[in-house]
Structures are given as C-alpha cells and as structure tokens.
C-alpha cells in the first residue's frame, strides 16, 4: 500500500483515523502498531517477519546496553555485535548480488545466486534502528522501557517505507504521551495534500515526460537537457512529496517529525544543497559516521578521507550499483573542491551565479544517479555537452518541449519557496479560500490518480 493510492486515501486512512481518534488514549499505540503491520503486510507480507525481527533484536540489544556501565568492555562488544547484525541483514538483501556480480566481473567467474526482492523500507528502518542503538551507546537516550512502545516507533507506517529517518530521541516522549485534536488533524491534512500534489500532479507528469524522451532514444542537445531537467524536478517532487505526506500523517497521529527537505534547489553551494536535501539522511551520516571518524577536527589528509568515506557510503546506501558509488564520490569531490578551492569565489560571486553553479553541479550529479551503466552515463553527458549529440534538436525533443513547457515552468516555480509562502499568508488572511484551494488540489489529485496508471515513489526502491 502506498500513500498515493485510492485504497489508502479512501479506505485505510479514514477507517484507521476513525478508530485511532475514538479509542482511549492508552489504546492508541496498539491501534497504531496493528495499523502499521497491516499497512506493511499489504504490500510486502513476505518480509513482515524480518521487520519485526529487526525491531525485537534492536530493542533487546538496546536494553542490554542500558544495563552495562561505560567501563565494562562488553558494552562495546555488544554495540559491535548489534551493528554487524543490522548491516549483515541489510547487506544480504541489498548488496549480496552486487558483490557477487562485482567479483564475477573482476575474476571472470560465473557466480550465480537466487534473485531476492528487496524488502520494502529495509534501508530506512535499518538506519532508524541503528540510530536508536548508537544513541543509547553514546548516552543520548535511555533504552525504551518496553518492547511494545519501541515496536510502535520502529514500525510506524508514516515513515516506515521511505523515510524520513526519524530518530527515537525525537519522538520518545510522544510515543508514551501525545495529544491529538482537530487543529493538528487539519494541519497534517494540509501538509498531506501538499505532498500528494507534488507527487501526483507534478512528479508523475514529469516522469511521463522523462520516460517519453528516454523511450524516443533522442540524443539531441535539447532533448537530453530536457530529459535530465525533467528527472531533476521529478526526483525532488517525488521524494519531498512523500516526506510531506509522511510528516503530515505524523501530525494527524500526534507526532512531530523533522522536515526532510528545505527547498534544496535554491541553494548557492553544493554544501548548502546537502543541508537542504534529504536532511534526515545527511544528519544520520554526519552524526554516526563523519563525526566519529573525527569530522573536520583532524589533519587535512584525514579530513579528506572522512568526507570521501562518508560520501562513498552515502552513494552506496542509495543502491547496489557502481553508478551510485560514483555519484557519492562525485559529491565528495565537489564538497572538497568547495572547501579548499572554491570557497572564496563563492563568497564573492552574486547569488544568481552561485545558484546557477549549484544547479549545474546537481544536474550533472543526477546523470550519475539516473543512468546505471558507464556507457549510459557517458552517452548522456556527451549529448549534454555536444560531444555525442546527434543534432541540436530533433522532432522528439521539440514535441516534448512544446508539450511539457508549461509543466516545466510550473515545476521550477513550485520548487522555490515563494509560491507556498504566498499560500501560507493567504491561509492566515482567508482560511475559507485556503480550504477551497486545498480541496481543489485534492480533487485534482484524485481525478489524476483514477485516470492515470499507478506510479510508485522512487525512493521506495532504496
């Protein structure tokens, strides 16, 4: 089950909220746990046991860590054991085939293995559970007092399958005691509609434009730039749309999840871009990998190493393929260049030029992200810079430009904060008009969902 489906919006969510709001406060956690299990089992019943095992294992290890003093050497052994088990589960299901394929390519051996479906949300709930264990070890939180409250956190359906990576420390108090009311319900519903509109009205149409251009086989200059431009916007609206919907659902349930996107395409440096894009993942790698390695409080050589390690792992987290590793290293090198070479230039350059530079770097990065083979990456980059372009513009690219121009303009405007800020000011002045706008957007989304074919969220594959 996914958020952008008729069955979720008109069947699961209303029935779940009806029960959740009218049961006694003590019964809300059981209702949320049962609803989350049903939500997950609807789309991936095979791996429901795996998700529950991950919850139980990390709860138990966290409980044991809480009993052991800092001076006891077994405390570190327990931590290492927990991290290894979590990473082995993640590695087996997500990276085992990639590892064997890489060995086969290097050695010439023909290693075969059974094709296993990737459990939905595995990367997200593994990192979520790891953050709990690591926070206990570092003294940032106390172990959860019971398995059931922890399972509610670990399996909660709003952020279960594609994030954001919510940390136990952020919502521990809300798990035991939270308030729900019509104000929070309305605010959550508005944010849910915002995310749904991003996904259904913008991302899905941008996906159709990108797919059409890719299917046409165009290698023209205009066609290639239009394709990667559509992909750039699609990825933002798809993932930030999911995050908005998840955060909105959290508000409906009485939880406050931290924002996961902060208009990243207005950034004036790559460093700023990664402070605004997928914030929960960036902060996870910063707090649990980068800082423990020494961060920037080490020698220059080790600082460079730390950045490259973190970004290689960030790329690998996104997918079991070398293009994601290259994508991560690409960003690591860009961040190093900004820190050691471009810093003074960026400080003095006008804002529009810094934003242009950042978007150029980001778009190039999405080429590595979207194309899975070196040949495909080289072909697209060559077409973008005129080295392998068949022509300036062919029939397919001109038709796509004509049919998708309005969509692209609306999308560029919508990925900047001005439009939504205007809506919020309007909502404060005229709540009825804001309600009408939300209702129109909602009905447009439903009409499009019924009319068009199903399109899953892109980040659920990671």
Query: Cα–Cα distances in Å, from 438 out to 84, 192, 194, 201, 406?
Result: 46, 10, 8, 13, 21
Whether 444 contacts 201, CB under 8 Å: yes
Q: If you search the block for the tokens 């431009």, which residue do you land on?
A: 229
Q: Which long-range contacts (CB under 8 A, 24 or more apart) does 65-70 make?
A: 65/133, 65/136, 65/137, 65/143, 66/136, 66/142, 66/143
Q: If you search the block for the tokens 């064997």, which residue do you land on?
A: 100
Q: If you search the block for the tokens 């019924």, which residue do you land on?
A: 450
Which one, of 157, 148, 158, 154, lies nearest residue 127 by Cα?
Answer: 154
Tokens matching residue 100:
């064997």
The one-character DSSP state at 382 is H
Which one, of 328, 347, 308, lies nearest residue 462 by Cα?
Answer: 328
CA distance 389 to 385: 8
CA distance 421 to 438: 15
Whether 127 contacts 159, CB under 8 Å: no
Q: Residue 280 class from Cβ within 10 Å (0-12 exposed, 13-18 middle, 19+ buried)?
A: buried
Non-local CB neighbours of 415 within 8 Å, separated by 6+ positions: 233, 236, 237, 263, 265
Residues identified as active-site: 318
Non-local CB neighbours of 94 within 8 Å, separated by 6+ positions: 118, 122, 123, 320
CA distance 197 to 246: 13
């Amino acid at each position: 089950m996914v958020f952008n489906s008729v069955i979720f919006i008109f069947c699961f969510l209303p029935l779940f909220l009806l029960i959740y709001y009218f049961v006694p406060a003590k019964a809300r956690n059981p209702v949320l746990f049962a609803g989350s299990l049903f939500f997950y089992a609807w789309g991936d019943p095979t791996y429901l046991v795996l998700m529950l095992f991950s919850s139980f294992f990390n709860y138990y290890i966290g409980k044991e860590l809480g009993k052991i003093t800092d001076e006891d050497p077994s405390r570190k052994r327990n931590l290492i054991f927990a991290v290894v088990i979590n990473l082995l589960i993640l590695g087996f299901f997500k990276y085992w085939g990639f590892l064997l394929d890489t060995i086969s390519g290097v050695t010439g051996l023909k290693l075969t293995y059974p094709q296993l479906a990737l459990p939905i949300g595995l990367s997200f709930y593994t990192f979520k559970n790891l953050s709990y264990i690591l926070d206990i070890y570092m003294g940032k939180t106390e172990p959860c007092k019971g398995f059931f409250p922890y399972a509610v956190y670990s399996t909660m359906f709003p952020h279960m399958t594609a994030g954001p990576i919510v940390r136990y420390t952020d919502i521990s108090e809300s798990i035991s005691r939270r308030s729900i009311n019509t104000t929070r319900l309305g605010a959550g519903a508005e944010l849910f509609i915002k995310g749904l509109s991003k996904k259904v009205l913008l991302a899905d149409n941008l996906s159709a434009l990108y797919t059409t251009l890719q299917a046409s086989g165009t290698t023209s200059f205009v066609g290639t730039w239009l394709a990667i431009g559509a992909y750039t916007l699609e990825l933002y609206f798809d993932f930030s749309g999911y995050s908005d919907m998840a955060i909105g659902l959290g508000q409906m349930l009485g939880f406050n999840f931290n924002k996961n996107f902060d208009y990243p395409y207005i950034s004036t440096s790559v460093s700023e871009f990664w402070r605004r894009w997928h914030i929960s993942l960036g902060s996870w790698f910063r707090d649990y990998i980068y800082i423990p390695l020494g961060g920037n409080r080490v020698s220059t050589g080790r600082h460079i190493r730390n950045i490259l390690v973190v970004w290689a792992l960030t790329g690998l987290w996104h997918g079991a393929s070398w293009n994601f590793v290259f994508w991560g290293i690409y960003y690591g090198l860009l961040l190093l260049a900004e820190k050691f070479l471009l810093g003074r230039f960026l400080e003095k350059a006008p804002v529009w030029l810094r934003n242009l530079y950042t978007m150029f770097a980001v778009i190039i990065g999405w080429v590595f992200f979207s194309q899975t083979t070196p040949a495909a990456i080289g072909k697209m980059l060559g077409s973008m810079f005129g080295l392998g372009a068949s022509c300036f513009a062919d029939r397919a690219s001109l038709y796509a430009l004509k049919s998708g121009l309005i969509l692209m303009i609306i999308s560029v405007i919508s990925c900047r904060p001005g439009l939504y800020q205007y809506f919020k000011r309007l909502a404060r002045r005229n709540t009825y008009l804001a309600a009408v706008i939300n209702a129109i957007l909602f009905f447009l989304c439903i009409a499009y969902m019924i009319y068009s074919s199903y399109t899953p969220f892109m980040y659920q594959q990671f």
